Amino acid sequence: MSARPQAYRPETAILDLGDAFYDPVAAADFPQTILRFRNDRAAAEVGLDGLSDAEWIAHFGRFAPLDGSLPRPLALRYHGHQFRVYNPDIGDGRGFLFAQLRDRAGRLMDLGSKGSGKTPYSRFGDGRLTLKGGVREILATEMLEALGVPTSRTFSLIETGEALERGDEPSPTRSAVLVRLSHGHIRIGTFQRLAYLRDNAGLAALTAYVLRHYYGEEAGDDAAVRLLDHVVDRTATLAARYMAAGFVHGVLNSDNINVTGESFDYGPWRFVPNWDPGFTAAYFDHAGLYAFGRQPEAIHWDAMQLAVSLRPIAEAEPMIAMLDTFGERYQRAVGEAPVWRLGLIPRDPAENRALVQAIEGPLRATATPIDRFFFDAFGGDLPAGYGAEWDTARAALAPYRPRKDRSHPYWSDAPCSMLIDEVEAIWAAIDRHDDWAPLYAKIAAIREMGDALR
């Protein structure tokens, strides 16, 4: 029995905050609009899957307003720590909030752009996105969604016909505009800006907005503490899911952390080939600040910046106490996330953590590919080819029971991975031959894996 079609339900909730939180902007007038990717699966969840390709391009390439939603795109204002250095001169520099609407679950969702042109916060940038950057974001979001990581979803990618100059890839290179579907674009950096401006009324208003629209609560005397509680919980879970997925975001600045705990804004991301805590994704991360194994620390640090920002409207003691729960929540989530990826039913939190420790040791010692291990061990049985060094892990797995069997066709083939060589090969086919088939085939393979895991 098929699910009932989702009705399109437009929203304009962000306008309630007032124009101190954003700047109305206009999209660039692109010389071309060639539709390269439309995420009909995501569109079906917000009632937009019935758009024709021409209508799709009009809305997500030319940014004609969606009926009943925002009349104009809005560049959101925020600050943030970038590699632990505070920067008050940032904001939406090559993107904007295009529309708001409700999804099938009734959640308030945002459609935001990337590469849509200059805004008041573009500084010396051109406000554009390379086509390669857009392709990479599709691959990151599809893979993370399949692996159970809370993530924005790439909604649309349209090639725009400009030649862009970039210092970190061969130039000139092709251009694109991307639209992402997210559970909100409010960042920790959005709160930091208000604290920097000593705008306590703005802090209170934004706190109430987030609680009401993303957590279903009304503000009260303890609003800031409750908000921090939610954010600590969601971000601890996000950090744990990154680890189980073997994912390195690359730039976990406070302006890149969403207060709903949903990962977004993918630049120099990578998936690690094996369990290497020192693995970095960004060539400019010379100190390894956002290395694979340091991501929980980095996300906790960002949550601390939210607490500092909320301090003018909250007492210190309950905020400190809430921050201190991050470690406990992370430990719980980091036990549950690999258990989910292994297709097992969770047990006691202490057992889950012990299982993770039993797995991590031989993963590091043997350099077994992470994706290979989770594929082989799905359901809880390690194949005979895993030698004596895996005996402790095998014993730790024994009490667990599967939540899913291996009957899905995915388990009869090979693990689906997303390592850098394949990413580059997919891009090379597009760049050299305008061959999009490898990208579309990879998306299909990723979604098959996601279906098998779910």
Q: Which residues belong to the active site?
A: 255
Strand ranges (E), 186-252 = 247-248
> Exposed, middle or buried: residue 168 (CB in 10 Å: 0-12, 13-18, 19+)?
exposed
Name the H helices within 83-167: 131-146
Amino acid at residue number 81? H
Assigned token pair, 95: 């993107």
- Cβ atoms within 10 A of the Cβ of 400, count? 19
As a whole number of angstroms, the distance between CA 60 and CA 72 comes to 13
- Listed residue (332, 320, 145) closest to 236, CA to CA: 332
- Cβ atoms within 10 A of the Cβ of 49, count? 17
For residue 99, the cross-strand partners are 111
As a whole number of angstroms, the distance between CA 342 and CA 349 comes to 16
As a whole number of angstroms, the distance between CA 8 and CA 144 comes to 26
SS3 (DSSP) at 263? strand
> Exposed, middle or buried: residue 90 (CB in 10 Å: 0-12, 13-18, 19+)?
middle
- Listed residue (130, 127, 114) closest to 175, CA to CA: 130
- Listed residue (237, 243, 240, 205) closest to 223, CA to CA: 205
Amino acid at residue number 122? S
Contact (CB, 8 A) for 123 and 143: no
> Exposed, middle or buried: residue 441 (CB in 10 Å: 0-12, 13-18, 19+)?
exposed
The verdict on whether omega for the bond into residue 172 sits within 30 degrees of 0, i.e. cis, is yes
Strand ranges (E), 92-195 = 97-102, 108-114, 129-130, 153-164, 173-182
SS3 (DSSP) at 390? helix
